[in-house]
Every structure is written in C-alpha cells, then in structure tokens.
Amino acid sequence: MTLLSTPAVSVRDLRKSFGSLEVLRGISLDAAEGQVISILGSSGSGKSTMLRCINMLETPDAGEIAIGGEVIALRKGRHGRTEPVDRGQVDRIRSRVAMVFQSFNLWSHLTVLENVIEAPVHVQKRPRAECIAEAEALLTRVGIVDKRNHYPAHLSGGQQQRAAIARALAMKPKLMLFDEPTSALDPELVGEVLRVMRSLAEEGRTMLVVTHEMGFARDVSSRVVFLHKGVVEEDGPPGEVFSSPTSPRFRQFISEHR
Amino acid sequence: MDAAFMGETFLRLLGGLPLTLNLTFASVVLGLVVAMSLAAMRMSGVPALDWFARAYVFVFRGTPLLVQIFLIYYGLGQFRPSLQAMNLWGFFREPYWCALLALTLNTAAYVSEIMRGGLQSVPAGQIEAARACGMSRLLLARRIILPIAVRQALPGYGNEIILMVKATSLASIITMMEVTGIAHKLISETFRAIEIFICAGAIYLILNFLVTRAIQALEYRLSPHLRNAPSPMPRLVAASE
Amino acid sequence: MSIFSLMSFGSEGWGLAMVFAAGVTLSVAACGFLIGSVIGSLIAWVKLSGGVMARGAADAYTTVLRGIPDLLVIYLFYFGGSAVLSSIAGLFGPGGFVGVSGFAAGAAAIGIISGAYQSEVFRGAYTALNRGEIEAAKSVGMHRALMFRRIIAPQVLRYAIPGLGNVWQLALKESALVSVTGLVELLRQSAIGAGSTRQPFSFYLAAAVLYLAITTVSSWGFRRAETYAMRGVRRA
C-alpha cells in the first residue's frame, strides 16, 4: 500500500490524559484515501478517545493531527491546557469530517429530515431545496425515507443510527468516523446498520471505525488497528493480522471475541 | 449607611418575630392536619370526597393568598348578623384568627398535593414485594409506604414551610404587626426603605436558613440508603485473602 | 342587590371596572414576568459558565430573593424607588418628592423575584440537555452561536416550559400584592367596590373567580405549549 498521495488523516504521536489517567500514550496512524480502518481494543484502550481527538471533541495534550494535509493548529493555553488556535479552523475541519456516535445523538427537537438538512443548510449554507432533495436520497439509501417526518424518539435504535449515518453523509464528508456505531443496539438491529456501513465501504469512502464487530473488521475493512493501553499494538490488513497476529495481547483479544 | 439606625431598626423588627413564628408554626401544624384529610379524600376512591378535595386544591392554588385573606377578614363581614347569631363573629372579627385560618387553608392545599406526590412515588414493585411476604395493609403502610413517601416528599415540604414563613408577611396587610408589618410602619415613619429592607430581609433569611438546615438534617437521617457505602468490613477483607 | 347585578356591565354594574382591573393585573404580571425572563436567562448563564465569584453572586441573588417575602421586595421598590428618584431629582434643582408609579415598582419587583425563579428553571433545563446532541452539533462544525440558536435554545425552552408555567402562576399571584402601592389592579378595584357598596364578600369572590379564570386559562395554555414542544419526545 502506498501513501504517496496526501493521507486523508494523519495522526502523529497523539497523547491525551484525563487527570492522572494516561489514555493515549503516543499514537501514530495514517489513513490513505479510501481506506476502511477498523480500530479494535478492549474498553479503556483509548480507541474512542483517539477518534474524538481527530474530530477535536477532545483536545489532545500533545501530538499532531492533519486532515487532508491540513494540520490542526494547537497551542498551550492558560493553565497549561492545549487549545485550538483557531476555532474557525476546527469548525471548518469538522464540517468535512463526519462523526457517527454510539448513542446516535440525533437532535431530539428536530424530525429525521430536519436532522439531516440541519448542518448542510446552516453550517455549509447550501440552498434548502437542494439539501432536502439530497437528504431524501440519502434516507432512501439507508432505507428510512418513510420515516423522514418522524422524531428520533419514535424510531428504533437501528433506524436512529441509520438516520445518524444519513446526517453524517449529508455533509459530503472526506472522512467518516464511527464510534462504536452498533454497541448501543439490540442484537437483531445490528445487521441493518452494518449493511449500510458495508455499502459505504464498498463505494470507496475513507472510514475509521471503532467497533467490537469482528465480522466487520475481518470482512469489510481494509486494515485493522489494535490499540492496547493507549498504544498501537497491531496494525495490518485483516487477512494478515487475524491469521498470524504478532502481538500476544491481540491473539488473546481475538480468542475472547470470537 | 447608618449603623446606629440599622441596629435600632433590627431590634424593633425583632419585636415582630414572635408573631411571625407563631403564625408560621400554627399554620404549618394545622395545615398538615387539613392536608392529611384532603390527601385521604383524594385517595379514598369515594367520588364525592375525591371531587371535593380536587375542587378545594384547585381553588386555593388558583387564587392569590391575599384574596383569600381579604375574603375571610373583610368579606365575611357582609354576613355579620348571621355570624353573630352563630356566635362566630368573635372569631372572624379578629385579624389574627382570620390570617391563621387563611394561611392554614392555603398551605393545606399545597401540602396535600405534596403528600399525594410522595405516596405515588412509592414504586409498585416494592409494594408488591411487601404484599408477597404477607404484610397486612396497615403494616405495609407503616413499614414500607410511609417511610418511602415521607423521604420523597420532604424536600417539597421544606420548600412549602419556607413559603409559609414568607406568607405570614401578608398578615401585616390586615393590621398584624409581625416583622413585615413593623417594617412597613418604620418605612412610612422614616422613609428609609433600603436600610429597613436589609434588616427585615436578614431576619427572614436567617429564619429560612434555619428551616432549610433542619429539613436537610432530617433528610440525612431518613436516607441512610442514599449515603456512600461504608468501607468494607475487615472481616470480609480477611475472608477474601 | 345580587352579585350578578352587582357585577353586570351596565352603568350601574361594576363588571367593566373589574374586567379592566383584571387587564391591569395581567399587564403588570406579564411585564414582571418578561423582566424576569431577561434577568433569569442572564443569571442562569452566569451560574453555568461564570467564574467562582460571579457564580457565588448569582447563587446569593437566587437565595436571597427566594428567602424574602415578596411584599418586602415590593415595599423596597415602591418606597425605596421613590426615595432614590427624589434624591436624584434633588440634584437637578429644588425638586420635591418624586413618586414611582405603582405599576413600575410592581413590575420591577415581580421581575426581580421572578428572575430568581426563572434562572433556576433555565439552569435546570440546560442541564437536562443531552450532552451527546451538543457533541453531534460540534461534530458537524457548528460554531457556538449557531449551536446555541439551532440546538441549545430550542431545547432549553422546551424543557423550561413547565417550570416557566409555574413561575408565571407565581407572578400572577404576586401581582395581587402590588395593590399595596395603590395600583388599581384586580384586588385594589375589588377593595374600592367593596368600600363603596358595603358588599366586600361579593367583590372579593368576584376577584377570586377572575383570578381562577386567569390561572386556569394560563395553565391550559402552558400545557398546550408543552404538548406542542414535546411532540418529538416519546411518552412514557
């Protein structure tokens, strides 16, 4: 695999602590355009924190993040905490990086359709009619266009997560982050969400997926990264890492998550 | 600001404190009794009683206390001959009794709703569990429902007591010289509203602070199950080694 | 004379005067409530994001205003306001006594009291927000003002409606106390009628009925508003 072109996302020596707890202890990761990376790890390994740092929902203590070659400028603020130099830059980058949350986080006061067009209309300032047409196409694609005028609370978990994916897609993102998108779902609803994610992977989108779904990691992703205690323990194509893991901890993780 | 004036004002206002306390205490206690009857009516399942209690609560919560006081103190004067015939005029002629009656009837409406809320908050599962181990209705009420309901209702009841401390100030409008009454008199004598407000306000704040603390202490005593778990017993630690 | 002919709308009846006075009650309560909304949202904002000192001051404000009888606050604004205005007038020449209008003092007093309660309502509503929805707003690149306007404000308002309904009822009932300033609102008008006809019970009863009508209609209105605002929330 070549990384001659600019990576879609590039993370260099990322560090983050919460109080005395060191969650990320120097993580580096490059994702090429079109790659689908599954990020595995037991709870507390730092995988969600890493994802949240990429979208600046958490500000890293040290390290560098570049999205499509644009480095997010950070500085030491008061009290020694890092903070973004330019909030405008953060907002601009966020509007190109979409995030899908474990708990969906649909805006409860807006209907499904309103959720999907909210950011395109108000953040990207695109014409409303155009956004609605696109949103309906996206909702059709994720299979819930008939629910477009429903409020999130009236949808099943799987439908809510598919709506959240449509909301993410509506931003026409260069990079999609999935933070355990199926962990809050009842087992029978997991499949419908995974099917949507698989179709996104197949059309060549760049995706970073924190997940516990070993099937997805094995069959859909182009690369698997295993985090343990805030460092990358294993990194490679699923065919290699699953058949001959180099890290004993990853071997144990696989055997526990069969 | 004039310290001597403040000091003197404070002392004169304190002269109204016994009446403020008297009205608060009497109306809170009597109100509790009336509220219990109202709550019992609401829960009785007898339509007429239930309806009466609902109407009572609706009227007393939907109108200002001052209107209720005026209705009793001034309004009933319209029926003076009949009241005299019933030997009740002696009661309704006195501003103290009228204020106390209005305060009592008013707080009873609010407290009955607080009680009802507390009783309804008892989880059905815990009542079933008590039935399942053979508790009689009375035992169930005494050992399970009341303790949980009282614990639930206590914060709301505390607020109501504070509201009553404040509400006694309205008795001053029908000539009772409690703290606010004296404050009003002093303001119209001296026109130094700000200093007098500070002194009277301080008295009410201290009073309400004490009420809050008392309720908090009671709340703490009644809720050992919500405190932090005690550290594990040494015996258990030894056993796990 | 029966209470119905007493309260009739003809030239002999007091009906029109009573209804007009009820309008004054509504206006002074509404002005106070709106002043309270402005104060309440500012204080809530300070409580949520202010520094230690500012937060302490905001908490003190709420504690004091909720612990002091409303009547005292009305006296403060009515008599204290007049004293302040008179002394200011004195600076510009040999003024005399300048009185504050009962309406202004009443609205200000209700506003200050209602602001203390409303700040708690707004603060509570804000803490009821789902953090995840705010993160989702950040994650699509909303800047703070946009996020406040599109996501936070509508939801805070929605959660605040029941609390605001209660505060409005308090404001309505507090307005009866403004009668001590001589403002001819519903209770004062009833006292005037009671004095001139010697039928106090009829007048105070009529006042009670009008108050009851106002509180009933407003609680119905707030319930309607809540149902509308909560249309996106699953019923338990």
Please state, in angstroms and as integers, the Cα–Cα distance from residue C176 to each residue in A91, B170, B220, C71, C217, following that order.
51, 11, 38, 10, 18
Q: Averaged over C112-121, what is the pLDDT?
A: 95
pLDDT of residue C95: 60
Residue A192: Cβ within 10 Å count: 19
Instruction: Please provide residue B158's backbone torsions phi and psi, each rounded to the nearest 5 degrees.
Output: -60, -45
Q: Does B185 touch chain C (CB under 8 A)?
A: no
Instruction: Please provide residue A58's backbone torsions phi and psi, each rounded to the nearest 5 degrees.
Output: -120, 140
Of A97, A105, A154, which has the smallest distance from its Cβ to C133's Cβ?
A105
Are the Cβ atoms of B79 and C191 closer than 8 angstroms?
Answer: no
Are the Cβ atoms of C79 and B200 closer than 8 angstroms?
Answer: no
Which of A90, A91, A121 would you mutate first to test chain C, the one with the most C CBs within 10 A?
A: A91
Q: Averaged over A168-179, what is the pLDDT?
A: 92
Q: Which residues of A touch C128 (CB under 8 A)?
A: none
pLDDT of residue C24: 96
Beta strands A175-179 and A21-31, pairing class: unpaired
Q: Does B26 touch chain C (CB under 8 A)?
A: no
Nearest CA in chain B to C74: B197
Q: Does A55 touch chain C (CB under 8 A)?
A: yes
pLDDT of residue B44: 85
Residue A101 lies in a domain: yes
Domain-by-domain residue ranges, chain C?
A: 31-186+215-229
Residue A169: Cβ within 10 Å count: 23
Q: Does C231 touch chain A (CB under 8 A)?
A: yes
pLDDT of residue B237: 40
Of C136, C158, C233, which has the smallest distance from its Cβ to A101's Cβ?
C136
Of A56, A95, A105, which has the smallest distance from its Cβ to C136's Cβ?
A105
Instruction: Note down the domain range covering A233.
Output: 32-58+88-256
Are the Cβ atoms of C234 and A153 closer than 8 angstroms?
Answer: yes
Sequence-distant (6+) residues with CB within 8 A of C51 are none
pLDDT of residue B233: 47
Residue A22 lies in a domain: no
Residue A13 lies in a domain: no
Distance CA C177, CA C70 (A): 8
Q: Averaged over C159-184, what is the pLDDT?
A: 94
Shortest Cα distance, chain A CAs vs residue C156, angstroms:
10
pLDDT band for C94, please (50, 70, 90 cuts): low
Q: Does C10 touch chain A (CB under 8 A)?
A: no
ipTM of the complex: 0.90
Are the Cβ atoms of C80 and B169 closer than 8 angstroms?
Answer: no
Chains that touch B (3 or more CB pairs under 8 A): C
pLDDT band for A178, please (50, 70, 90 cuts): very high
Please state, in angstroms and as integers, the Cα–Cα distance from residue B11 to each residue in B28, B167, B181, B200, C15, following that order.
26, 22, 14, 10, 47
Q: Which residues of C touch A103 (CB under 8 A)?
A: 132
Q: Is A103 left (phi over 0), alpha (psi -120 to 50) or beta?
A: alpha
Beta strands A175-179 and A207-210, pairing class: parallel
Q: Is the pLDDT of residue A1 over 80?
A: no
Q: Does C48 touch chain A (CB under 8 A)?
A: no
Beta strands A9-18 and A175-179, pairing class: unpaired
Residue A236 sits in a domain whose CATH number is 3.40.50.300
Nearest CA in chain C to A156: C234
Q: Tens digit of pLDDT per residue, chain B (241 long)?
A: 688 899 999 999 999 999 999 999 999 999 999 999 999 999 888 999 999 999 999 999 999 999 999 999 999 988 889 988 888 888 889 999 999 999 999 999 999 999 999 988 888 878 877 777 667 777 778 878 888 888 889 999 999 999 999 999 999 999 999 999 999 999 989 888 899 999 999 999 999 999 999 999 998 888 776 666 555 444 444 333 3
Contact between chain C and chain A (3 or more Cβ pairs less than 8 Å apart): yes
Q: Is the pLDDT of residue C5 over 90?
A: no
pLDDT of residue C235: 47
Q: Is the pLDDT of residue C68 over 70?
A: yes
Distance CA C228, CA C236 (A): 16
Q: Averaged over C188-211, what is the pLDDT?
A: 93
Of B71, B192, B197, which has the smallest distance from its Cβ to C208's Cβ?
B71
In the block, which residue shows the tokens 């029926």?
A: B79
Q: Which residues of C touch A91 (CB under 8 A)?
A: 141-143
Of A56, A91, A118, which has the smallest distance from its Cβ to C150's Cβ?
A118
Residue A104 lies in a domain: yes
Q: Does B103 touch chain C (CB under 8 A)?
A: no
Q: Which residues of A touch C141 (CB under 8 A)?
A: 90-96, 119, 123, 171
Are the Cβ atoms of B67 and C76 closer than 8 angstroms?
Answer: no
Are the Cβ atoms of A105 and C132 closer than 8 angstroms?
Answer: yes
Q: Averaged over C177-184, what is the pLDDT?
A: 93
Q: Is the pLDDT of residue C123 over 80?
A: yes
Average pLDDT, whole number, for chain C?
90
Nearest CA in chain C to B57: C212
Domain-by-domain residue ranges, chain B?
A: 17-240
Distance CA A57, CA A40 (A): 20
| CB < 8 Å from A in window 131-160 of C | 132-133, 135-144, 146, 150-151, 154-155, 158
B39-60 confidence digits (pLDDT tens): 999 988 899 999 999 999 999 9
Q: For residues B34 and B108, is the Cβ–Cβ distance under 8 A? A: yes
Q: Averaged over A92-115, what is the pLDDT?
A: 90
Are the Cβ atoms of A119 and C141 closer than 8 angstroms?
Answer: yes
pLDDT band for C92, please (50, 70, 90 cuts): confident
Percent with pLDDT over 90 in chain A: 63
pLDDT of residue B239: 38
Q: Does C227 touch chain A (CB under 8 A)?
A: no
A45-77 confidence digits (pLDDT tens): 899 999 999 988 899 999 999 998 899 988 888
Please identify, in words, the CATH class of the domain defined by B17-240. mainly alpha
pLDDT of residue B232: 47
pLDDT band for C1, please (50, 70, 90 cuts): low
As for how many domains chain A has, the answer is: 1
Architecture of domain C31-186+215-229: Orthogonal Bundle (1.10)
In the numeric block, which tokens belong to residue A122? 């108000």
